Structure 1
Amino acid sequence: MSVADWIVLLLLWGISAWRLPAALRSYRQRMLWAAFTALAVSRVFSANPVVEWLIAWTGLEWATLLRHLGGLASATFLLAFVEAITRGDRPSRARWIWPAAAVVVGVLVALFAARGGRIYWVEGQPGETATAGRIYLLVFDGWLIYCLGMAGFMFGRFSRTAPPLLRAGLIISAIGMAAGVANRGHVMAVNLANLLVPQWGAAESPIFHGATLVVTVIGISVGTSIPGIHAIRTRLQQRAALKELQPLWAALTAQYPDIALGMEGPSSVQLYRRLVEIRDGMLALTAVADPPADGAPERVAEWVADALDGAVAAGVAGQPSGTIPGPDFHGDTDKETAWLRQVAAAYKQRSGRTGSRVS
């Protein structure tokens, strides 16, 4: 194995170990973890000691078959992962992937058995591979190229509507997949040339093969990690928003405990629930005082504080006006969250000055 092969092998096993916890919680992450792990297993069977030991023990090229089946599984899992994250709420389009992969596996195993357990079988000249072996390699490389090409295409198309950080990850992943297509396309072209015009004596370029392999693994591993970084950043932002909304939410639910939904869930669900509860609390306050006509956060915060004091003094609930203060965000929860954070900050500041209740 070359230095590039060792770098790829160590990188793949490191990524596999790192992604294992996420794989236990999510189907999408499970597909991605399986892609990296299958490729790592595949690269193990590229190591010369492993290859030589299996040949000496069995007399057959089991390392070749296992390496190729691992690569095939990796490409299939990667395509399933990309399909899952790009389809959105649409039904899965990936049900055909597994039967198709099973057919390819069957063809490879059948050709392997037909050649007596040999693929790179010397026939005539040293290093010459039998025709059945060339066909085997064309089937194998064809499936890899299809999976990587389709995955790269899906990522590239999805990147047009993705947020900036996620878009960067998708583009880097697509570059890695394009390098994978170039890597296997180079091998496939050599095999096809030797199959059709053997007198040319076409040979693979070790430098091109190693370089594109490294770019493929690094591009896919880095690119698919960026969405994870994006998800971590999103969760941190959601938790920060929950913390900032806490005083306003606590004051409203203390006066109107029935608005608390009492659900548990991830930070995204908790934040959405908190937005709804705060809005319901504001709607209840309109029974005490009319909300300000404009949506200035400072004016709304002052109205909330005064209306809460009025609700406590009145002791009985009136009829809400049906008008919730603030702009119409047309379902944009990000904008609504940002506005309510401003209201909550102004409410906390005002409550601190006047001694009003704030939790």
Structure 2
Amino acid sequence: MTAVSVTVAVALWTAVVLRAPGAKKNHRRRMLWFTLLSLALVATFDLPFVLDGIGSLTPAAHNVGHLLKYLAAVMAAAGAHEIVRGGYLPPGRAEVGFGARVAITGGVLAVLVALFVVAPIHTEQVDSLTAAYAGLPTIRAFLVLFLAALSTLLVGVVRHTAWYRRQLPPGPLRTSMTMILAAAVAGLLFALLKVLVVASTPMIPRGAAALTVSPVSTGLLATSLLLFAVGTAWHALQNLTPGRYLIALHRDRQLRRLWRDLRDVVPTISLEDALARRSDTDGHEAGHRRMPVGRHEVELRYWRRVMEILDGELTLRPYVVPSLRGAAEEAARRRGVAAVDVAPVAERAVLEVARRRRTRGEAPVPGRAAPRTPPLSSFDVEARRLHAMAAHRADALDLADHLDHDTSATIAS
């Protein structure tokens, strides 16, 4: 577990360094940097060799490292609460009452320090403050105040983050919020275990905790710290060259089969094939696309792939039977397709029927070319729609086999 804890601490300190230049831009970024710094301190003071080192440096006041870890945890939870307020509340309202919240948090920290100072626990260094001194009245009061403050802040983080996540479309920001939500839940489980330990310990002058859950508690703390670190850095990680390259390459591969299906019947949608035919200087046969090298090239290729598929859809519009969309959705439901997948399966099946009609040389639907559903919107929305269609190719082709038999009768009627 020490190796995992060290890795988490290194990851958090790396995030602190990388986020430092942007901390001056606005309140939310300052709070993000402050939260990452606090979490890095928690992860550092949770390392056994760091606690022993601090104890050897302060022989007159052992266990100071434990105090610093608890203080940093409260500050991290307060910082995380400020971050999610920025997404939960309208612009300008997130900072309202910030001074009062800082004062309350500062008061809690001051009381924690006072309880720690007066507690008779400074004669020897221990591995766990909770396990060794939970029976002392002052440390029990210390832990109760700490857990109450931590739980209150984390409940606010969970509530605000869950609401904010529901408002976001699928994408990097929603993924980031999901990780932060999971980190807060892990933090609450950590607090719950601490409550169980304190509640199971009798109130005696000096006694070890009756319930020992140190490995589980350490694991939950490391999980919470790691999830928060990755969640806050998720968008930035995707903007790094290797990450963006791999993401764009993966997305391009997902759409390749759908693109080929359309290009086979509408060759003019391929801009690269058209350029290759115009200037045959690279020695590749028409239609062959070499492996992209640079990040910008693979991103451009993915962008072009989406646009070419949209162009192919528009070209096949005259071959789409208007009434077939409703029939396709009904048939998909009867076949047990999940409700969330009915629309992309039906749309892909209808497009496949139109593609087959053009391949067979059939005439367009006279005066009944259906408008594409849904209408064109942003690139990201269209790309997500195409990915949903591509992901259900097998179900859609099976449905298209069934629908294709009824197409001629539908047109005749």
TM-score band, normalised by the shorter chain? 0.5 to 0.7
TM-superposed CA distance for 1:116, in Å, is 5.0
Instruction: Find the aligned partners of 1:135 and 1:229 in 2 and give their Cα distance.
Output: 42
User: What is aligned with 2:27?
Assistant: 27
Instruction: Find the aligned partners of 2:166 and 2:239 in 1 and give their Cα distance.
Output: 18
Which of 207, 222, 231 is residue 223 of structure 1 equivalent to?
231
Seen in structure 2, the aligned counterparts of structure 1 residues 229 and 64 have a Cα distance that, compared at 3 Å, is closer
One-letter amino acid of the structure 2 residue matched with residue 101 of structure 1: T
User: What is aligned with 1:149?
Assistant: 155
Which of 146, 154, 172 is residue 179 of structure 2 equivalent to?
172
Instruction: Find the aligned partners of 2:14 and 2:378 in 1 and give their Cα distance.
Output: 39
Deviates more, 1:38-47 or 1:26-35: 38-47
Seen in structure 2, the aligned counterparts of structure 1 residues 196 and 162 have a Cα distance that, compared at 3 Å, is farther
Asked if 2 retains the 8 angstrom alpha-carbon contact of 1:8 and 1:217, the reply is: yes
TM-superposed CA distance for 1:230, in Å, is 8.2
Seen in structure 2, the aligned counterparts of structure 1 residues 77 and 24 have a Cα distance that, compared at 3 Å, is same
User: What is aligned with 2:387?
Assistant: none
Asked if 1 retains the 8 angstrom alpha-carbon contact of 2:60 and 2:122, the reply is: no
TM-superposed CA distance for 1:34, in Å, is 0.8
One-letter amino acid of the structure 2 residue matched with residue 89 of structure 1: P
Asked if 1 retains the 8 angstrom alpha-carbon contact of 2:180 and 2:228, the reply is: yes
User: What is aligned with 2:106?
Assistant: 102
One-letter amino acid of the structure 2 residue matched with residue 83 of structure 1: R
Asked if 2 retains the 8 angstrom alpha-carbon contact of 1:141 and 1:188, the reply is: yes
One-letter amino acid of the structure 1 residue matched with residue 137 of structure 2: T
TM-superposed CA distance for 1:64, in Å, is 1.8
Whether 1:134 and 2:140 are equivalent positions in the alignment is: yes
TM-superposed CA distance for 1:335, in Å, is 6.1
C-alpha RMSD of matched pairs (Å): 3.7
Instruction: Find the aligned partners of 2:144 and 2:213 in 1 and give their Cα distance.
Output: 18
Unaligned runs of 5+ in 1: 237-333, 339-359
Instruction: Find the aligned partners of 2:109 and 2:123 in 1 and give their Cα distance.
Output: 15
User: What is aligned with 2:44?
Assistant: 44
Instruction: Find the aligned partners of 1:132 and 1:5 in 2 and give their Cα distance.
Output: 29
Asked if 2 retains the 8 angstrom alpha-carbon contact of 1:121 and 1:133, the reply is: no
User: What is aligned with 2:79?
Assistant: 77
User: What is aligned with 2:166?
Assistant: 160
User: What is aligned with 2:409?
Assistant: none
Whether 1:192 and 2:192 are equivalent positions in the alignment is: no
Seen in structure 2, the aligned counterparts of structure 1 residues 227 and 163 have a Cα distance that, compared at 3 Å, is farther
Asked if 2 retains the 8 angstrom alpha-carbon contact of 1:119 and 1:133, the reply is: no
User: What is aligned with 1:67?
Assistant: 69
Q: Give the SS at the match of 1:127.
A: helix
Seen in structure 2, the aligned counterparts of structure 1 residues 204 and 18 have a Cα distance that, compared at 3 Å, is farther
Q: Give the SS at the match of 2:93.
A: coil
Query: TM (normalized to structure 2)?
Result: 0.50
Q: Give the SS at the match of 1:164.
A: coil
Query: TM (normalized to structure 1)?
Result: 0.57
Unaligned runs of 5+ in 2: 245-376, 382-413
Which of 107, 115, 118 is residue 114 of structure 1 equivalent to?
118
One-letter amino acid of the structure 1 residue matched with residue 149 of structure 2: W
Instruction: Find the aligned partners of 1:187 and 1:86 in 2 and give their Cα distance.
Output: 29
Instruction: Find the aligned partners of 1:171 and 1:120 in 2 and give their Cα distance.
Output: 42
Instruction: Find the aligned partners of 2:125 and 2:201 in 1 and give their Cα distance.
Output: 14
Asked if 2 retains the 8 angstrom alpha-carbon contact of 1:156 and 1:174, the reply is: yes
Kindly tell me the number of residue pairs found equivalent between the two proteins: 240
One-letter amino acid of the structure 2 residue matched with residue 80 of structure 1: E
Seen in structure 2, the aligned counterparts of structure 1 residues 119 and 213 have a Cα distance that, compared at 3 Å, is farther
Instruction: Find the aligned partners of 1:46 and 1:225 in 2 and give their Cα distance.
Output: 22
User: What is aligned with 2:326?
Assistant: none
Deviations 1:266-301 (A, max 9, x none): xxxxxxxxxxxxxxxxxxxxxxxxxxxxxxxxxxxx
Instruction: Find the aligned partners of 1:169 and 1:139 in 2 and give their Cα distance.
Output: 30
TM-superposed CA distance for 1:224, in Å, is 2.4
Seen in structure 2, the aligned counterparts of structure 1 residues 102 and 94 have a Cα distance that, compared at 3 Å, is same
Seen in structure 2, the aligned counterparts of structure 1 residues 171 and 51 have a Cα distance that, compared at 3 Å, is closer
Asked if 2 retains the 8 angstrom alpha-carbon contact of 1:28 and 1:84, the reply is: yes
TM-superposed CA distance for 1:54, in Å, is 3.4
User: What is aligned with 2:59?
Assistant: 58
Q: Give the SS at the match of 1:58.
A: coil
Percent identity (aligned)? 20
